Structure 1
Amino acid sequence: MGGLREMVASFVVPGPSGVAVRTRLKGLTAGDEKVLGMVGDLLGTLASRDLKARCAAGLQHDSEQWAQHKRVLTGESSSRWAGSITKATHDQWALARRGRLAHIHSLQAGVRTIRHRLSLPIGEKGSKRAPGGYHSRQEWFAKSRRLHVLEDRLRSAQADWQAGVVHVVRGGKRLLKTRHQLETAHLTHEQWRHRWHAERRFLEADGESGKRHGNETIRVTPDGEVSLKLPAPLAHLANAPHGRYVLAGKVSFAHRAEQWADRVTAHRAVAYRIHEDVQRGRWYLTASWTIPPTSTVPLEAARANGLIGVDTNADHLAAWRLDAHGNPTGQPLRFAHELTGTASHRDAQVRHALIRLLHWARRHSLAIAVEDLDFQAEKTREKHGRRKKFRKLISGMPVARLRARLVSMAAEPGIPVIAVDPAYTSRWGAQHWQKPLITKTRKTTRHDAAAVAIGRRALGHPVRRRTAPPRAHQSDVHGHRTVQAGAGTPEREGNRPRIPGPRTRSVGAGRGANAVDQNAQHRPGRSAEHESWQQDSLPLSL
């Protein structure tokens, strides 16, 4: 047990801090689309210029520079547009910096693994906790060259991190690289250029509490009328007073419509974003707002009625219900999802699986226990070597998106989500629970057993089924052998209820009624030893 890592205590995952809903902008005229494109292109140019200045400032950026950039942008747009641009620019720079740090950690893990394997003799076998040496001299030589490449990348990344240098592409690095592979992407140059301009537009506005309908820049009235404040260079395009442009179509939200209507009616802050889907030829409006943090349910209260243990897999969610004592009840359920196709299709599959899981949990008023997974440092090829299928498997598992979706969707019906340490759940679940749970009508898989292990860890019980008695005295003198019943549990030492009918081949029905009554046995210290028919001991004088 000395080689096992320390387990992190289970905790109730806090709820989401914000809400975002999206709807389609229908009924737009050609003039509306032209105005939206012109406003987005102008603000996108200003955002690119501000991002360049922010990246050049690096770690020397302060509030004074922020205010100066905002004053410059205000003269070319408006004060509110300038505030949205500078905030989005700083958020994008901070995100790129966090990504650079994660890249450094990945390179460090790869360098450590290669150095360890190069130090071992060729062909030496590894263990479960450490990889062995390389299989051949050729592979050893190739990995030694790769070590120099990774070390060079690591030095460059660390130098950028210390200097505050980040690498950001407005519009996305993937779309930028597609420019050199138009035939493979089945795109023409005009189609790629249209998509590139659409992704680099900027049509975002932060909400303002106390202002009319919660936003002065992009305003949506309760009846669905959408209008936006035009920047100063495009003020001549206004079709409404005060330099505003009102779109011809109206919008309506199908999800959280009542919450959105309550906020805009009370003039509470709502942020909006307008973007174009070039492939579908549609415009969309996204509304978002912050919500007060919900009071997290105490861990003991979430465990009171038992819970549902969930094991996350690449193609399904394996779930099993456990009672408060950690015993699996009922039958295991599996919620399948296919992570193929487009990103929207994959996201819909994940949501569909989670909806069925949440309906089951709400029907029985149970909490949900999931693993606190993070594969960011576990999917490098240096760690898993030639196991390409396994690397592809863990790379394709949407653990971060699935957990975020689960927490946000569970917050609405008030279902607690408990995160547990993922260490050894699959291994110990298969070792202690897979075989005992197999019946003639049920084939328990390794994933089902892992769901039981996850649920038991969330309940505070050990994963193993029983605690072995002491070797020196294998009896109940040191306490009850099972770990399910505590010392204060009523009738924990009571007799089992008799089941009608034969229990074994050697004991018939109605026999052995006093089999568990210790006072009825011929043992020292029991009342049966002093019955009248018991032979007295011989006198010592004889």
Structure 2
Amino acid sequence: MGVLREMAVPFVVVGPSGVAVRDRLKHLTVEDEKVLRLVGDHLGTLASRDLKARCAAGLDHDTEQWAQRKRALTEECSSRWAGSITKATHDQWALARRGQLAHIQGLEAGVRTIAHRLSLAVGEKGGKRAPGGYASRWEWHAKSRRLYVLADRLEAARADWDAGRVGVVRGGERLLNTRHHLEQAQLSEEQWRARWQAGRRFLQADGESGKRFGNETIRVTPEGEVSLKLPAPLAHLANAPHGRYVLTARVAFAHRGEQWRDRVTANRAVAYRIHEDTARGRWYLTASWTIPPVKTVPLATARANGLVGVDTNADHLAAWRLDAHGNPVGEPVRFGYDLSGTAAHRDAQVRHALIRLLHWAKRHSLAIAIEDLDFTAEKTREKHGRRKKFRKLISGIPVSRLRARLVSMASELGITIVAVDPAYTSRWGAQHWQKPLTSTHRTTTRHDAAAVAIGRRALGHPIRLGVPPRPLRHWGRTAPPPHDRSDRVGHRTVQARPGTPGCEELRPRIPGPRTRSVRAGCGANAEYQDAQHRGGHPAEHESWHQDSLPLSL
């Protein structure tokens, strides 16, 4: 048996640090839409120019260069617009760096895997931890050529990383490539052009605490009036004092509306973003702000009454309720979702499944245990080879989106989330729990058994069931076997508390006579049990004599 890797300790997930709400800008006039497009296009041009300057600076960028970029932009818009543009540029460059590092790590994993498989003989079998050799000489030759291709890509990526060069596309690389495949995307050139321009506009402003309604650039009053501070070249379009343009639309946030209204009334910072959905022909306003970190409960408190173990899969969430001792309670529950279709449909499916799971856990007042999944290194083409279906299955699991949604939604309901190490949960769950939990009325799947394994790990109990030291001492089991007192029919299905005596132990001594006519603790010999003639007591070894009786009786 191979050496098992070290398991990470379960921990309570910290709640979200910020929130965002969105509302539609209804009843905009033609003039309103024209002004929004002009302002967005102008600021988008400045943002593209600033991003180019930031990428050219690379690793040599410092605060002085940041200040110079902001001063250059202020001349063509305003200081607040310039601050929002430079901050967004810096965040976009940092995101590109993280993506570049992930790409390098993926190339390194591919090179290692191919080199290992090329070093083995053709047709050599692999194990669970390492793949074997390639199936044929043709595949070996093709992979040897691919090794050089990946090595060249890795060398170029490392050179860009060391030099601080990144590739960023404002508007999105996917939308840019769609321009060459309009027929497959079922788009005309005009439709694509409208999406491209909408994606490259810049209409977002950071909030400022202490300023009127928390934002001087894009201002929203508690009554829902929206106004913008126009850039200097577009100041002639203002319809309100101080170079501002007031939209005819009114907003009323249905979700967290009271929280937003409290913030703007107290002049606390709120960031806003305006964007256009060209497919629907609608405009939206998104408000966001930071919140203080939610104080998490201790892990021991989350475990006190048991919890719900959840196994994440490509098309459903498998959940099972466990008590504080790690015993499965009730029946397993499955919350399905369909990840086909558009991104909005997939996101709605995930939210619908999560809210059903959270409401079920809320009814039982239990925390939720889930795996701390990260499939960054599991999607590589070289690791799984021809297993395209399996690679697609892993890629289809919405790990990051599901994790973010679950944490934020659970925080609203006051439900604690416990993250556990995902190592061996599916394997050990199927090995030790699938068969014992299967009955004539219930078929337990591998995913249900994995949910039990996840819950037991979160509770601090071992997943694997140990072998009892003696065949007749059934430690930790209370349900009787079906036929006789041996264990040849399989494991019992109910787990008892650690302190519960086994069936072969001595029965606890109950004070009092062993008669039904006298209650326990009463009777002549209730206090002095040695008078009873039982094994191990002094009464068996004391000398005694029989009193003489008159023979005449």
Both structures adopt the same fold (TM-score exceeding 0.5)? yes
Counterpart AA for 1:186:
Q
- Contact 1:160 1:166 (C-alpha < 8 Å) held by counterparts: yes
Report the equivalent of 2:36.
36
1:72 to 2:51 alignment: no
Cα distance in structure 1, aligned partners of 2:323 and 2:539: 48
Report the equivalent of 1:189.
189
Cα distance in structure 1, aligned partners of 2:73 and 2:506: 80
Structure 2: runs of 5+ lacking an equivalent: 478-494, 509-532, 542-553
* 8 and 484 in structure 1: CA distance in 2 versus 1, 3 angstrom threshold: farther
Cα distance in structure 2, aligned partners of 1:480 and 1:318: 29
- Contact 2:203 2:274 (C-alpha < 8 Å) held by counterparts: yes
Counterpart AA for 1:19:
V
Report the equivalent of 2:154.
154
* 2 and 389 in structure 1: CA distance in 2 versus 1, 3 angstrom threshold: closer
Report the equivalent of 2:53.
53
Post-superposition offset of 1:484: 5.9
Cα distance in structure 2, aligned partners of 1:468 and 1:85: 64
Report the equivalent of 1:509.
none
Report the equivalent of 1:139.
139
- Contact 1:368 1:415 (C-alpha < 8 Å) held by counterparts: yes
Report the equivalent of 1:539.
none
Cα distance in structure 1, aligned partners of 2:227 and 2:17: 27
Report the equivalent of 2:208.
208
- Contact 1:468 1:481 (C-alpha < 8 Å) held by counterparts: no
Q: Deviations over 1:98-127 (max 9, x none)?
A: 000000000000000000000000000000
Alignment of 1:21-420 (within 5 A): 21-420=21-420
Q: How many residues align?
A: 498
Cα distance in structure 1, aligned partners of 2:276 and 2:20: 17
* 385 and 527 in structure 1: CA distance in 2 versus 1, 3 angstrom threshold: farther
Post-superposition offset of 1:190: 1.5
* 372 and 138 in structure 1: CA distance in 2 versus 1, 3 angstrom threshold: same
Structure 1: runs of 5+ lacking an equivalent: 497-525, 535-542
1:454 to 2:459 alignment: no
- Contact 2:205 2:273 (C-alpha < 8 Å) held by counterparts: yes
Post-superposition offset of 1:464: 1.8
Task: Determine helix, strand or coil for the equivalent of 1:330.
Answer: strand
Counterpart AA for 2:412:
E
Cα distance in structure 2, aligned partners of 1:382 and 1:350: 30
Post-superposition offset of 1:236: 0.4
Q: Percent identity?
A: 76
Larger radius of gyration: 2
* 208 and 60 in structure 1: CA distance in 2 versus 1, 3 angstrom threshold: same
Task: Determine helix, strand or coil for the equivalent of 1:431.
Answer: helix
Counterpart AA for 1:468:
V
Post-superposition offset of 1:474: 6.5
- Contact 1:126 1:132 (C-alpha < 8 Å) held by counterparts: yes
Cα distance in structure 1, aligned partners of 2:402 and 2:385: 27
Cα distance in structure 2, aligned partners of 1:362 and 1:181: 47
Cα distance in structure 1, aligned partners of 2:445 and 2:350: 21
Cα distance in structure 1, aligned partners of 2:507 and 2:312: 41
Task: Determine helix, strand or coil for the equivalent of 1:434.
Answer: coil
Task: Determine helix, strand or coil for the equivalent of 1:319.
Answer: strand
Task: Determine helix, strand or coil for the equivalent of 2:433.
Answer: helix
Post-superposition offset of 1:527: 4.3
- Contact 1:469 1:481 (C-alpha < 8 Å) held by counterparts: no
Cα distance in structure 1, aligned partners of 2:226 and 2:157: 45
Q: Deviations over 1:389-418 (max 9, x none)?
A: 000000011011101100000001110100
Counterpart AA for 2:150:
L
Cα distance in structure 2, aligned partners of 1:37 and 1:25: 14
TM-score w.r.t. length of structure 2: 0.87
Counterpart AA for 1:382:
E
Counterpart AA for 2:266:
A
Moved over 3 A (4+): 473-476, 479-486, 489-496, 526-534
Post-superposition offset of 1:528: 3.8
Cα distance in structure 1, aligned partners of 2:379 and 2:497: 41
Cα distance in structure 2, aligned partners of 1:432 and 1:33: 62
* 270 and 531 in structure 1: CA distance in 2 versus 1, 3 angstrom threshold: same
Cα distance in structure 2, aligned partners of 1:449 and 1:187: 46
Alignment of 1:416-495 (within 5 A): 416-465=416-465, 467-470=466-469, 485-486=497-498, 489=499
Query: What's the C-alpha RMSD, in Å, of the aligned pairs?
Result: 2.0
Cα distance in structure 2, aligned partners of 1:174 and 1:270: 31
* 474 and 262 in structure 1: CA distance in 2 versus 1, 3 angstrom threshold: same
- Contact 2:476 2:497 (C-alpha < 8 Å) held by counterparts: no
Cα distance in structure 1, aligned partners of 2:244 and 2:375: 48
- Contact 1:229 1:245 (C-alpha < 8 Å) held by counterparts: yes
Post-superposition offset of 1:495: 5.0
Cα distance in structure 1, aligned partners of 2:506 and 2:240: 83
TM-score w.r.t. length of structure 1: 0.89
Cα distance in structure 1, aligned partners of 2:297 and 2:539: 62
Task: Determine helix, strand or coil for the equivalent of 2:216.
Answer: coil
Task: Determine helix, strand or coil for the equivalent of 2:310.
Answer: strand
Post-superposition offset of 1:485: 3.7
Counterpart AA for 1:55:
C
- Contact 1:84 1:206 (C-alpha < 8 Å) held by counterparts: yes
- Contact 1:10 1:421 (C-alpha < 8 Å) held by counterparts: yes
